[in-house]
Amino acid sequence: MKKQPSYQLMQGNEAVAEGALAGGVNFFAGYPITPSTEIAEILADRLPAVGGKFIQMEDEIGSIAAIIGASLGGCKTLTATSGPGFSLMQENLGFACLAEVPLVIVNVMRGGPSTGLPTSPSQGDVMQSRWGTHGDHPIIVLSPASVEEAFHYTVKAVNLAEKYRNPVILLMDEVIGHMRARVSLPPYTMVERHNRVRPSMPPEWYNPYERSASGVAPMAAFGDGYRYHVTGLVHDAKGFPTSNPNEARDNLRGLFAKIERGFREICLVDYFEMEDAEHAIVAYGSMVLSARSALEQLREAGHKVGMIKLGTLWPFPRFALERYLPQLRNILVPELNLGQIYREVLRVNAGQANIEKLNRVNGTIITPEEILKAVKGVIR
Amino acid sequence: MISNSELVKKYFRYNKKFPHIWCPGCGIGTILGCMLRAIDALELDKNDIAFVSGIGCTGRAPVYVDFNTLHTTHGRALPFATGLKLARPELKVIVATGDGDSTAIGGNHLIHACRRNVDITTIIFNNYIYGMTGGQYSPTTPHGDRAYTCKLGNIERPFNISALVEAAGATFVGRSTSYHTLQLQGIIRRAIEHKGFSVVEVITHCPTTYGRLNRKGGAVEMLKWQKEIAIDKTKAEKMSSEELEGKIITGILLEKELPEYCEQYDTIIAKARAAAGEKG
């Protein structure tokens, strides 16, 4: 067994590919698109050596379709894309939500809308990642803020997809995807892996959508002797289409209930200097890097400022804010969009603290100095 | 050959509430029956069959039969099936798709599946119209024919599906009709046995929309029409182009051996593993 070096220089996209391998991903289907292409290239090289498979599809619609098919065959699957490709994936993403098929989509965000700013950073897809596909549906969205975190969040994304039988989106911005940093990764054999629960009952007793006590139904792979039906139609516990109002309600409610039950485990949040904070920065992705630098300077200057770092964007970790709202006077939300998480913060805040936003959509980042200035302006 | 009642008992899902959704006189059930008889003749284990479909009347076929069944999104049955086949190469993957599903919204997936030569059998139910949405023209609606989105006559030229998939690189192409059930069973059987991407185009009828709009009569008249226009390939070879005008050539139109995708990928895995082993 090859020993992992203790430190290595790695790009964010490379860390995602490594995280996929560490998490046990053995099937990737994708289509080239900047700034995510490195993930496909690396996995095309690396998957065959571990007995996995890579296929380059004709478009992103086919890419997500192929990983759904492979996931039903029992593989752990992942695809990587950026805005235009993510838009094309939306219909089949809804299929995976309703049919409860585990998979991971990495969206390395670039400036949008449309072809937008292909190689420039953006965080413009936050709301799309939540509501891009039609209809009410649950979704899990993680957003790493460093190269090392890109590795760990990818593993986490694979594990959550398997555990909750739900698509998970790893929402990175181009800064994290293309940034190179020194990382220390654990040996892959030491990485915790979660595998989907398989049915233990005989096939004739198996109802593919009958939820166990955990809220998630055991999932058989095609070919394992449990012949069952998978459809994008609203279905009953046997997986057969239904338009019975009670069965339709149970289907949709059940999708949400399983995620609500796992809410705390799904929500990744870190707190910086929050104990005595009177003002907070709420940040995610590359904005965390700028905010941390600003935070150090603000603390040195004696300002009681902290940061709530959102690792999970959806479901929105509202408890992270609620916990500190009574002590906070001001909150600043810096984002590389026109205020998408800002609205969530407003919603949870419900008028308690003063909420300010700091936004940019010109393809450049918000610097630590700009956050510093904005915070000083707010707390004055 | 297996009797109808045995066929129903062996392959239909006892726990699925019938009746099915198809109109009286529809050709889809006949084609599905031919597929089941072909599977039965091959003595395949039901656990080893994955039956995948897209959207439309044909898309509803998998739910009724007792295999691993996957009813996907509109036009996307083939990429779903491709992922499934790569994940489980030991499965016999069969795709059922309509003319609109496979050549309009799914046209790009169809030609690329032909090119890749993954071992999948695709049965295209060609009834010249979008039936489920109530009769709009499809890429195979003949020029001049009527549909609810071209009441004054279709001004687009239709695809010839068999020629299209042959040009795109399918390694097996067969064509039959829902009238010629024995021929169809045989072709589907050969298509399943074929190692590589196989397409069976089945000319069928939608008496509810296409038949009614184009005054083709009911299901019986439309079956007679299929009987008249179909010419077996061996017979067609002896006929002049004038005699073949307006006819549809049926039979196994193409069969060739080319490296199959999954088998080729296995050699990639072996090479990659050997290289990784050398590096230690």
Q: Which CATH number is associated with domain A8-190?
A: 3.40.50.970
| Helical pair A83-99 and A60-72, crossing angle rounded to 10 deg | 30
Tell me the residues of A at the B interface, defined by beta carbons under 8 Å apart: 2, 27, 29, 45, 48-49, 51, 53, 55, 57-59, 61-63, 65-75, 77, 91-92, 95, 221-225, 227-233, 238, 240-241
ipTM, two decimals, is 0.98
| Helical pair B107-116 and B77-87, crossing angle rounded to 10 deg | 30
C-alpha closest to that of B164 among B233, B71, B253: B253
| Minimum-distance CB partner of A73 among B47, B79, B84 | B84
Please provide the average confidence, as pLDDT, over all residues in chain A. 97
One-letter amino acid at B30 equals T
pLDDT of the residue at B10: 97
First vs last C-alpha separation in chain B: 57
Distance from CA of A371 to the nearest CA of B (A): 45
Q: Band of the pLDDT at B278, cuts 50, 70, 90?
A: confident
- Phi/psi at A168 (5° precision): -125, 135
Distance, CA of A201 to CA of B259 (rounded, Å): 40
Distance from CA of B257 to the nearest CA of A (A): 22
Distance, CA of A331 to CA of A354 (rounded, Å): 6
Considering only CB atoms, which chain A residues are within 8 Å of B265? 48, 53
Which residues 166-225 of B have a C-beta within 8 angstroms of A?
Answer: none
Residues B248-268 pLDDT 10s: 999 999 999 999 999 999 999
| CB-CB under 8 Å, B87 with A74 | yes
C-alpha closest to that of B64 among B16, B21, B30: B16
Q: Scanning every residue of chain B, which has its alpha carbon at the shortest distance from the alpha carbon of A1? A: B280
| 3-state SS, residue B170 | coil
pLDDT of the residue at A346: 98
Which residues, 6 or more positions from A43, have their beta carbon under 8 angstroms from its beta carbon?
A17, A20, A21, A25, A28, A52, A54, A78
Residues B144-191 pLDDT 10s: 999 999 999 999 999 999 999 999 999 999 999 999 999 999 999 999
Decide: residue B102, CB within 10 A, 0-12 exposed, 13-18 middle, 19+ buried: buried
Given CB atoms, is B109 within the 8 Å cutoff of chain A? yes
A8-190 against A272-379: fold identical: yes
Q: SS3 string of B179-203?
A: CCHHHHHHHHHHHHHCCCCEEEEEE
Which residues, 6 or more positions from A183, have their beta carbon under 8 angstroms from its beta carbon?
A7, A8, A9, A10, A15, A147, A148, A151
Q: Two tokens at A265?
A: 């485990």
Check pLDDT > 70 for residue A194: yes
Residues A137-163 pLDDT 10s: 999 999 999 999 999 999 999 999 999
Strands (E), A123-246: 140-142, 167-173, 180-183, 229-231
Architecture of domain A272-379: 3-Layer(aba) Sandwich (3.40)
A–B interface: beta-carbon pairs under 8 A: 145
pLDDT of the residue at A380: 80
pLDDT of the residue at B33: 97
The percent of residues above 90 in pLDDT, for chain B, comes to: 95
Which residues, 6 or more positions from B23, have their beta carbon under 8 angstroms from its beta carbon?
B131, B206, B207, B208
| CB-CB under 8 Å, B280 with A92 | no
Kind of pairing, strands B198-203 and B120-126? parallel
Given CB atoms, is B86 within the 8 Å cutoff of chain A? yes
| Minimum-distance CB partner of B76 among A92, A221, A227 | A92
Given CB atoms, is B71 within the 8 Å cutoff of chain A? yes
Check pLDDT > 60 for residue A1: no
**Would you kindly state where each structural domain of chain A is located, as residue ranges?**
8-190, 203-264, 272-379
Q: Are A144 and A18 in contact (CB under 8 A)?
A: no
Count the alpha carbons within 13 Å of A366 in the hemisphere toward its beta carbon. 33
Which residues, 6 or more positions from B82, have their beta carbon under 8 angstroms from its beta carbon?
A55, A57, A62, A65, A66, A69, B113, B116, B118, B120
Q: Scanning every residue of chain A, which has its alpha carbon at the shortest distance from the alpha carbon of B280? A: A2
Q: Scanning every residue of chain A, which has its alpha carbon at the shortest distance from the alpha carbon of B279? A: A2
Q: Two tokens at B36?
A: 């089941």
| Minimum-distance CB partner of B86 among A27, A95, A224 | A27
Least confident span in A5-19, A38-52, A242-256, A297-311 = A5-19
Task: Kindly report the length of chain B.
Answer: 280
CA distances from residue B33 to B59, B68, B210 in whole angstroms, order as listed: 15, 17, 22
Check pLDDT > 70 for residue A5: no
Task: Classify B4-279 by CATH class.
Answer: alpha beta
Residues A84-119 pLDDT 10s: 999 999 999 999 999 999 999 999 999 999 999 999
Decide: residue A212, CB within 10 A, 0-12 exposed, 13-18 middle, 19+ buried: exposed
Interface test with B, best of A43, A47, A58 (most B CBs within 10 A): A58
Considering only CB atoms, which chain A residues are within 8 Å of B76? 61-62, 65, 92
Given CB atoms, is B83 within the 8 Å cutoff of chain A? yes
